[in-house]
Structure 1
Amino acid sequence: MRLLHTSDWHLGRSFHGVGMLDAQRDFIDQLVTFVRDEAVDVVLIAGDVYDRALPGVDVVGLLDDALVRLTGAGAQVVLTSGNHDSAIRLGFASRLLERGGVHLRTRLNELDQPVLFPLGDAAADNAADGDAGGDTGDQTGPVLAIYGIPWLEPRLVAEQLGVETASHFEVTRAATERIRADVSRRSETRTVHSVVLAHTFASGGISSDSERDLSIGGVGAVPLDLFDGFGYTALGHLHGRQELSTAVRYSGSPLAYSFSEAKHKKGGWLVEVDADGIGEVREVLWDAPRALAVLRGKIEDLLASEEFAWAEGAYCQITLTDAARPAQAMDRLRARFPDTLVLGFDPDGPGAAPKASYSSRLAEADDDLSVCCGFLDHVRGRPASDAEAKVLAEALEAVRLEGVSL
């Protein structure tokens, strides 16, 4: 069997105000083509299918289309919910969808109810019979058991899981213990190879700016040894594809959702499974619909140098290092880099004086015009020009005269 580990689709998300639905459709096209060409048996989606609990109609339609096309390409889907999803809404009609090869694991009481796939001769028999999946053949042969741990909010599930401390560690430990108990029970009569989907922050994972913190201060991280003993753990939540151990990995998001992911190679993991257990795991890469550029330098250098020609068609985050903030900086930059989405200022070099606090500037101002010009200098990093100072002076005089006339 072949499993494709994905997660964090975040359907409906935008990128600094730019809608990403077309880029997400492109990813779905790549995914379906890969599933068909590589004869993938099961697509795993480890949470954060949607970007918000109440997705738009067009976003729901995109997921519906994706599931129809994936099952039509010959794969089944095992899907669990993440912290961005509404578990109740995502899990709607789960029993009906299971008949079509889409297995949803979004409820707490489904933690130890795996999706079963026969391996070895039984799997070959089912394929020959045209069986869509599930363990319907020999009840003693080797089997792959895929479990789904949805996003667990500690305060809401601690009591149901029988733990006294509402922490990510305790609820995740209780969840994995339930799964181990089920694996142990099934293993009394047959060989069971286990795969676990979990949406969580595991220790050792490298985060990026586009993930929502699971808890304050990082206490939401759970140790890797909670997943010991499982054949493969398919994690979701962190957006960079990474290998925490041979058997514990993040697939990462299929698209970049922040500039901190500019150097990521987006993709997933293709996992081979047979009657002997988990075999080769190899990386899968998705083509990015748009490059991301994180540029830094003085505005004249950025506008003139051929070094930055590659970024002209990219989404850009630009930090200017000029000693004084250039006038009309965004307009000038967009003339060369039309899709500049983020602009920052970080003066450096001998001409960049240390920036005084606004309160200290205010204390030094000796009249209203100085206050106004000082504020302008503070917020944009460039003193008011003579023309600007004249406009401010005229405005202040108009206010003064209006006050006298009252």
Structure 2
Amino acid sequence: MKFIHISDLHLGKRVNEFSMMEEQKYILQQVLYTVQNEAVDAVLIAGDIYDKPVPPAEAVVLFDTFLTRLSQMKKEVFIISGNHDSAERLSFGSSLFTAEGIHIAPVFEGNMEKVSLWDDAGEVCVYLLPFIKPSTVRRFYEEDLTDYTKTVQTVIEHTPVDTSKRNVLVAHQFVTGAGRCDSEEVSVGGLDNVDASVFEPFDYVALGHIHNAQHCSRESVRYCGTLLKYSFSEVNHIKSITVVELKEKGKNPQIHTVPVTPLHDMREIKGSYEELTFRKNYMNTAVNDYLHITLTDEEDIPDAISRLRSIYPNIMRLDYDNIRTRNSGSLEIGEAVVERTPLELFEDFYEQQNHKPMSEEQKQFICGLIESIWE
């Protein structure tokens, strides 16, 4: 059984006020080519189909076109909702789509959807687990669910998974130890962590939520990452499509990646205004890429971004790096605050006010308050 694993399409997303729709159309064509070229049996899409719970119409049309092509190619498709999606909207019409091989996880009602596929080695059971959190799950079980690991573990334990068969899980959670990017939605105080040990019953776990491709604990518990770069923290990422082939039960899945090429890359360049506008320096470079430009001039260039856009039309961000900015702590302080969790900021505030650190009991209490407010 061979399938591709993708996630976090974020259709309809805007990055620094630039629409990504043309980029997304272009990259989904590469997915369709890979589906055909790799001769896969199924496509797993692990959540965050859209960037917002109410996506723009053109994003819905794009996803509809993509699914229609996969259906015409006679591929089985498995879709779950992520934290950016509306599970209710995404699962509309799912009962009708099943007949065409499009399997969309319904709104979570206490159990996981299971779909069986067959190949020469027997049955492959695909389980669909949309994004869940304690507040949406605890009403279905007697357990007092307060953390994400226990929540996911409880759902899996209440699912009759036959471990003598090959089992695949499609999920959208943050697994402990995974590396995050600036473009991801970060929960508070690490409260959304899920320990990878809860996925033990599954031969392959197709994860979504983290934008950088990586595995967790074992090779077969895997984030495929996004198909496109959505922040400048991702400029060095190599985006790809994950291809997985399940062998007989007991054998490790064979996993490889197929690199994808964006319509416009996301890059960072640095230099003086004169250097960056000198024709010889930008000739034969991808001037239409999405750029973060850092100017090293000591004096601000009047109307710099407009003038630079005559050469580099897709500038997303412009900064200065000079004596003035290095002596000013405002940029570094602002970035540090953005990168820290609310719990860490509250700990600093508490220590400044009380001249002593918070106790573990106080931290747990604050975590609970923050989580309830966040939800």
Under a length normalisation based on structure 2, what TM-score does the superposition of the two structures give?
Answer: 0.81
Report the 3-state secondary structure (helix = DSSP H, G, I; strand = E; otherwise coil) of the residue aligned with 1:146: strand
Of 288, 293, 302, 1:318 maps to 293
C-alpha deviation, 1:167, in angstroms: 2.3
Report the 3-state secondary structure (helix = DSSP H, G, I; strand = E; otherwise coil) of the residue aligned with 2:95: helix
Indicate if the aligned counterparts of 1:48 and 1:84 stay in contact, CA closer than 8 A. yes
- C-alpha spacing 1:288/1:161, structure 2 compared with 1 (3 Å): farther
C-alpha deviation, 1:307, in angstroms: 5.3
- C-alpha spacing 1:355/1:56, structure 2 compared with 1 (3 Å): closer
C-alpha deviation, 1:202, in angstroms: 0.9
Output one character per residue of 1:331-380: Cα deviation in whole Å (capped at 9) or x when no partner.
232233222111122324xx7773488xxxxxxxxxxxxxxxxxxxxxxx
Distance of 1:115 and 1:313 partners within structure 2: 44
Name the residue aligned to 1:230. 202
What is the letter of the counterpart of residue 102 of structure 1?
A: I
Of 160, 173, 196, 1:200 maps to 173
Name the residue aligned to 1:76. 76
Distance of 2:142 and 2:96 partners within structure 1: 30
Name the residue aligned to 2:29. 29
Output one character per residue of 1:219-271: Cα deviation in whole Å (capped at 9) or x when no partner.
21212112123101111011111122211111111111112211211122111
Name the residue aligned to 1:239. 211
1:45-124 pair list within 5 angstroms: 45-109=45-109, 111-120=111-120
Q: Which moved more, 1:329-338 or 1:232-241?
A: 329-338
Distance of 2:56 and 2:73 partners within structure 1: 26
What is the letter of the counterpart of residue 208 of structure 2?
A: G
Indicate if the aligned counterparts of 1:50 and 1:85 stay in contact, CA closer than 8 A. yes
Q: Which moved more, 1:79-88 or 1:272-281?
A: 272-281
Indicate if the aligned counterparts of 2:305 and 2:318 stay in contact, CA closer than 8 A. yes
Indicate if the aligned counterparts of 2:215 and 2:223 stay in contact, CA closer than 8 A. yes
- C-alpha spacing 1:249/1:353, structure 2 compared with 1 (3 Å): closer
If asked which structure has higher relative contact order (CA below 8 Å, sep 6+), I would say: 2
What is the letter of the counterpart of residue 250 of structure 1?
A: Y
C-alpha deviation, 1:305, in angstroms: 7.9
Output one character per residue of 1:8-66: Cα deviation in whole Å (capped at 9) or x when no partner.
11111122212222221112221122212221111000000111111122221111111
C-alpha deviation, 1:103, in angstroms: 0.6
What is the letter of the counterpart of residue 114 of structure 1?
A: K
Distance of 1:356 and 1:115 partners within structure 2: 55
Distance of 2:43 and 2:245 partners within structure 1: 12
In the comparison of the two structures, how many residue pairs are matched? 327
Distance of 2:181 and 2:326 partners within structure 1: 32
What is the letter of the counterpart of residue 296 of structure 1?
A: K
Distance of 1:339 and 1:29 partners within structure 2: 23
Q: Does 1:221 align with 2:199?
A: no
For structure 2, the 5+ residue unaligned runs are 331-375
Q: Does 1:212 align with 2:185?
A: yes
Name the residue aligned to 2:337. none
C-alpha deviation, 1:168, in angstroms: 1.8
Distance of 1:356 and 1:21 partners within structure 2: 37
Of 223, 226, 233, 1:260 maps to 233
Indicate if the aligned counterparts of 1:47 and 1:85 stay in contact, CA closer than 8 A. yes
Report the 3-state secondary structure (helix = DSSP H, G, I; strand = E; otherwise coil) of the residue aligned with 2:109: helix
Name the residue aligned to 1:153. 133
The Cα RMSD (Å) is: 2.2
Q: Does 1:289 align with 2:263?
A: yes
C-alpha deviation, 1:161, in angstroms: 3.9
Which entry has the higher C-alpha Rg, 1 or 2? Answer: 1
1:161-176 pair list within 5 angstroms: 161-176=141-156
What is the letter of the counterpart of residue 240 of structure 2?
A: G
Report the 3-state secondary structure (helix = DSSP H, G, I; strand = E; otherwise coil) of the residue aligned with 1:109: coil
Distance of 2:272 and 2:148 partners within structure 1: 45
Distance of 2:204 and 2:282 partners within structure 1: 42
Indicate if the aligned counterparts of 2:161 and 2:201 stay in contact, CA closer than 8 A. no
Report the 3-state secondary structure (helix = DSSP H, G, I; strand = E; otherwise coil) of the residue aligned with 1:313: coil
What is the letter of the counterpart of residue 303 of structure 1?
A: T
Indicate if the aligned counterparts of 1:240 and 1:253 stay in contact, CA closer than 8 A. yes
Name the residue aligned to 1:333. 308
Distance of 1:322 and 1:106 partners within structure 2: 55
Indicate if the aligned counterparts of 2:94 and 2:106 stay in contact, CA closer than 8 A. no
Distance of 2:326 and 2:223 partners within structure 1: 44
User: By percentage of residues, which structure has more helix?
Assistant: 1
Under a length normalisation based on structure 1, what TM-score does the superposition of the two structures give?
Answer: 0.75
Name the residue aligned to 1:273. 246
For structure 1, the 5+ residue unaligned runs are 122-141, 358-406
Distance of 2:88 and 2:82 partners within structure 1: 12
C-alpha deviation, 1:195, in angstroms: 0.7
- C-alpha spacing 1:354/1:30, structure 2 compared with 1 (3 Å): closer
Distance of 1:76 and 1:199 partners within structure 2: 19
Of 286, 299, 308, 2:273 maps to 299
Indicate if the aligned counterparts of 1:120 and 1:275 stay in contact, CA closer than 8 A. no
Distance of 1:178 and 1:64 partners within structure 2: 33
